[in-house]
Structure 1
């Protein structure tokens, strides 16, 4: 089995901080962030015990493709990508909300709907919807951005009332979110896919709002195959998905949903390898490009060297 990055612990000249996210290691500089996409995998806001080979490369390269493809809609934080697992960009002050947008009754929304809820994040949901039905128009269901633990649903009204985002900035975030989702759906359609739901994160660099983090990856988004969608809905059958929902379903089937007292089931070599294969499949289906595996023999040394070269050329 190929090597995988569980974590990195580099030290670079002029580095002023370090942040370890669920799946990313972030090296902080005065005006820049160096973000290493590790091979960690999370579900239900819990980092699972084993990393997945090539997962970080998959996410980093999908995000790079879609950030470039949407830069005419909203400027983004990226300045360079010196390694398949690394993105370097401007250090923004992030908004403390994630802009979740949903085109279909799926995932968390479907679970809440099945539990009887008809208002999600302040948005009234239509009656008589079935799981995976399309909404009349996409809905924005924000969450708080938790430093640790679970992100929480929140409404636009609560965000504004609590002063988390100003009314003027929130209006821009909504406009960007809808425009990005429309572009993402158009690009997915070209690949025979449906972009079901996704999330976007934004930050400020000076007075400018930038798109940050990743977009339209299988970690941040849910895709259905377009072929067979209507037939499956008519027959009440599950949709064929391209997302990490298969990981969540494996956890649920083995008694884990991130709740207190629950333990993560054992991740066997075969399971880890199958998840890796699925991520590579996701990459190729979403981008329409062949996935070229980076050399993982000395993966940490490779990454450290790429970052060090970039930093030395800057100074």
Structure 2
């Protein structure tokens, strides 16, 4: 896993590049680029706003930590192995839903949820592991999509939607409980899922760049979050 020169680059993403391996698996190379705007980090944005040295390594360390917990609990993921020194991760091949679907689990009303519904709820008010889905579509700014629309567009069947929702709440709760051990509160987290055959599995990463976490009411930046979770 030390070199990507001989592997086939199949996708260049905002925060990771994806390479095809000869055995059918994929290698993800993490970058130091982070989503946001005008130099300010925001996990809900779909544009690169800044580069933070060490962000890729921090993201991979967190991802390895949480994926290994999930695998031990029997939750299906694409994770196989990782190489922290080379900032790479080997994963099983999975098909995305449509051109990509993001699933957010919210424990507090912040970010885009509060911007949309602020007339009806106070900022940071508790939410009951509320799940919403958005399409990965940069040109349309990742539009939210309903269960009915997902079915009508042929992206998810109703049964698949319920499975994704259940997995989202289960995984988010596990991560929330792990963070709580460090006196950290998870406000929201973003996941991606895919298919291997008929099995729905968690894909992509689980890192500070995909979540909002707070300690004593103060937001924790991704690099600091990784340090708190893994080194304190």
TM range (shorter): 0.7 to 0.9
Within 2, Cα distance between the matches of 1:164 and 1:51?
33
Residues 158-307 of structure 1 mapped to structure 2, 5 A cutoff: 158-215=149-206, 217-225=207-215, 227=216, 239-243=217-221, 279=223, 281-287=224-230, 289=231
1:143 pairs, out of 127, 134, 138, with 134
Q: Which runs of 4+ in 1 moved over 4 A?
A: none
The one-character-per-residue Cα deviations of 1:66-104 (angstroms, maximum 9, x if unpaired) are 011112152211111134411011111012311111011
- Which of residues 5, 20, 24 in structure 2 aligns to 1:28? 20
RMSD over equivalenced CA pairs, Å:
2.1
Alpha carbons 1:77, 1:92 under 8 Å: kept: yes
For 2:139 and 2:30, the matched residues in 1 are separated by 18
Q: Give the number of aligned pairs.
A: 217
Please give the alpha-carbon distance, in whole angstroms, between the structure 2 residues aligned to 1:102 and 1:178.
9
Rounded Cα–Cα distance in structure 1 between residues aligned with 2:21 and 2:95:
13
Determine the structure 1 residue equivalent to 2:124. Answer: 132
* Match in the other structure for 1:37: 30
Runs (5+) with no aligned partner, structure 1: 1-8, 117-126, 228-238, 245-278, 291-315
* TM-score normalised per structure 1: 0.64
Could you tell me the TM-score, scaled by structure 2's length? 0.85
Verify: 1:111 aligned to 2:115, yes or no: yes
Give the 5 Å matches for 1:63-74.
Answer: 63-71=63-71, 72-74=73-75
Residue number in structure 1 paired with 2:148? 157
Answer whether contact 2:61 2:84 (CA < 8 A) is retained.
Answer: no
Query: What CA distance in whole angstroms lies between the structure 2 residues aligned with 1:133 and 1:110?
Result: 9
Task: Name which one, 1 or 2, has greater alpha-carbon Rg.
Answer: 1
* SS of residue paired to 2:209: coil
